[in-house]
Amino acid sequence: MYEFDPTQPKWRQIYAVIRQRIETGEYPPKSLISEVKLEAEFGVARITIRKVTAQLREDGLIITTPAMGSFVADRS
């Protein structure tokens, strides 16, 4: 289970981790960002993960396709 800093909102901490994984290539372009897996990995509610994906989408790091899911954006 992930150790959270109690002085920061959990969603911001998760966002920072996922952003770093995208930037380092751990999550390459077109890879699926599974809300279910992130929810389990970080032990948080789905609404928290949805805040994370909303911010990632706003920053252009992921693209969400209805009925398919969220995928890492191609950064070329």
**Which position has the token pair 């999550």?**
27
* pLDDT tier for residue 75 given thresholds of 50, 70 and 90: confident
pTM, full prediction: 0.93
Q: Is the pLDDT of residue 63 over 90?
A: yes
> What domains can you pick out in the chain, each with its CATH number?
10-72 (1.10.10.10)
For 10-62, the pLDDT digits (tens) are 999 999 999 999 999 999 999 999 999 999 999 999 999 999 999 999 999 99
CA-based nearest residue to 14, from 28, 32, 27, 41: 41
Residues 8 and 12: their CA atoms lie apart, in Å, by 7
Write down the pLDDT at residue 2.
85
